[in-house]
Chain A
Amino acid sequence: MPNLKVLKNRIASVKSTRKITKAMQMVAAAKLRRAQEAAEAGRPYAERFNAVMAQLAGGVSGDSGPKLLVGNGSNQTHLLVVMTAERGLCGGFNGNIAKLARVAANKLMAEGKTVKILTVGKKGREALKRELGSHFIGHVDLSDVKKLGYDNAATIAQDLLTRFDAGEFDVAKIFYSTFQSVISQTPTEQQIIPADFSHVEVGEQSTVYDYEPGEEAILADLLPRAVATQIFSALLENGASEQGARMSAMDNATRNAGDMIDKLTIQYNRSRQAVITNELIEIISGAEAL
C-alpha cells in the first residue's frame, strides 16, 4: 500500500496535467475554428481554378502539351513532398502522414525508382529521418509562420518548379491530411507534377470558351499556379486537420487524467480510512488491556 503522501503528490501531479491538456484542448479548438475558416475561404478559389484547369487540360491531346501537364516522358525519379505539423501532441496526425509516405516510398523503391523527399514541417522530418534520411533533399520550415498565406505555398511551389526544370525529378506527389471532421482526418496522397485533374469533375461542357492569349499560353501560365494552389489548399487542410487531431487527442488526455484522478482519489481515501481504522483498533485494544 503506497503511503498517503505519495498518493497525494500523485493526485496533485495528475491534476496539473489535466489542467495543461484542458488548456491545450481549448487553444486547439480556437485555432481549429480559425483554420477551418481559412480552409473554407480558400475553397472557392481552388474549386474554380481546378475546374478551369480540368477544362483546359481536357483540350490538350497527346504529348504536345506542356511538361507540367503531360510529364517529361520519364517516370524514374519521384519526389515526395511530406507535409506535417511543426508540433507534436496531436495524436496520430503526424505519424499517419509519415506512415503513408513511408509506405509509398518503399513501394516505389521496390519498383526500382529513385525516391527523393522534401519535408514540410519538422515532425514529419523527424519521423522519417531514421529510415529514409538519406533521401532528403530539402526541408521547409514553417514554425515561424503565424498565419498560413498563399505566399508560403508559392515559395514551396517555386522551389518545386525550379527543381523540376533542373530535371531533379519526374513526378511529384504531396502527402497531407484532409480534414473530414474533428475526430477524423484522412492522410492523402496527391500527384501534382505532372498535374492530374482527372479527379476534378468538369461540369456541363456545353460552353466553348475563347482563350486570350491562346489556349497553350494560358495553360503554360496557369500550370505553375496550379501547383501553388494545390499546395496551398493542402497546407490549409493540413492546418485544420492538425488542430482537429490535437483537439481530440487533448480531449482524450483530459478525460484519461480525470479517470486517473478518480481512481487515485478512491485509493487515497481507502488508505486514509485504513490508517484511521488501524489507529482505532490500537486504541481499543490498548484500552481493553488495562
Chain B
Amino acid sequence: MAEMMQFDLVSPERRLTSVQASEVQIPGAEGDFTAMAQHAPVITTLRPGVLKVVTASGTDEYLVTGGFAEVGVAGTSVLAERAFAKADVTPELLEDLIKEANLQRDANNTDMAAKYADDLVAASTQISG
C-alpha cells in the first residue's frame, strides 16, 4: 500500500474534495506531473486539464480550468478557478466552456487565450472519452 497524503481540491465557491490520496495527477502549466507523498514542495500554475486523484477507494477525475497547485509537506492542495467532478461534466457544460474560451481567444488574440482554448478542447476530449 502506497503512503497516503492529504489532498484538497477547492474552488472559490466550495471545497470539492478533501481526502487521503496515494497519488494525484496534476495538469501543470509546464507539463503534467504526479504528486505522491514526500514529493518535493512545489507551487505550479495549472492549465485546463484533467486532474486524477487515486485514493484507497478508487480513482476520481475532475476537470479543472486553471488555478494553481501547492504540493507541500503537509499534503497537496489544488486551488482551481473552476473545477467539476467527472460526474458533473455534461456535453453542454463542455460546450459552454469551449464557446467561452473561443470568444476570449477571438477577443484577445493572444497566445495565452489560444492555448487556453486548445488545452480546454484537449481536456474535454480526454474526460468525455
Set A48, A52, A210: member contacting B40, Cβ < 8 A: A210
Contact across chains for A48 and B79 when beta carbons are under 8 A apart: yes
Contact across chains for A211 and B77 when beta carbons are under 8 A apart: no
Interface set, chain A 209-253, CB cutoff 8 A to B? 209-213, 217-218, 221-222, 225, 228-229, 232
Contact across chains for B41 and A212 when beta carbons are under 8 A apart: no
Given known pairs A150-B13, A212-B30, the reply for A207 and B73 (CB within 8 Å) is: yes
> What is the interface residue range for chain A against chain B?
20 to 34
Residue of A nearest to B70 (CB): A52
Contact across chains for A209 and B42 when beta carbons are under 8 A apart: yes
Interface set, chain B 71-104, CB cutoff 8 A to A? 72-73, 77, 79, 81-82
In the complex the two chains form, what is the Cα distance from A269 to B115 in whole Å? 79
Contact across chains for B29 and A212 when beta carbons are under 8 A apart: yes
- How far, in Å, is A63 (CB) from chain B's closest CB? 23
Set A46, A211, A232: member contacting B42, Cβ < 8 A: A211
In the complex the two chains form, what is the Cα distance from A211 to B15 in whole Å? 24
Residues of B within 8 A of A70 (CB): none
Residues of B within 8 A of A46 (CB): 12
Interface string of B9-27 (1 = CB under 8 A from A): 0111111000000000000
Given known pairs A52-B70, A150-B82, A212-B28, the reply for A45 and B11 (CB within 8 Å) is: yes
The DSSP consensus for interface residues of chain A is helix
Binds B, one of A36-44, A74-82, A189-197: A36-44
In the complex the two chains form, what is the Cα distance from A56 to B10 in whole Å? 20
In the complex the two chains form, what is the Cα distance from A210 to B70 in whole Å? 10
Interface set, chain A 133-188, CB cutoff 8 A to B? 149-150, 153
Residues of A within 8 A of B12 (CB): 42, 45-46, 150, 153, 228-229, 232
Whether a CB of chain B sits under 8 angstroms from the CB of A208 is yes
Given known pairs A52-B68, A207-B72, A213-B29, the reply for A38 and B41 (CB within 8 Å) is: no
Contact across chains for B41 and A41 when beta carbons are under 8 A apart: no
Contact across chains for B10 and A212 when beta carbons are under 8 A apart: no
Set B15, B45, B77: member contacting A218, Cβ < 8 A: B45
Residues of A within 8 A of B40 (CB): 210
In the complex the two chains form, what is the Cα distance from A153 to B82 in whole Å? 13
Residues of A within 8 A of B72 (CB): 207, 209
Contact across chains for A42 and B41 when beta carbons are under 8 A apart: no
Binding site for B on A (CB under 8 A): 38, 41-42, 44-46, 48-49, 52, 56, 149-150, 153, 207-213, 217-218, 221-222, 225, 228-229, 232
Binding site for A on B (CB under 8 A): 8, 10-15, 28-30, 40-45, 67-68, 70, 72-73, 77, 79, 81-82
Instruction: Knowing that A213-B29, A218-B68 touch, tell me 15 more A-B residue pairs with CB under 8 angstroms.
Output: A41-B14, A42-B12, A48-B10, A52-B79, A149-B13, A150-B81, A207-B41, A209-B43, A209-B70, A210-B40, A210-B41, A211-B42, A211-B43, A212-B29, A213-B30
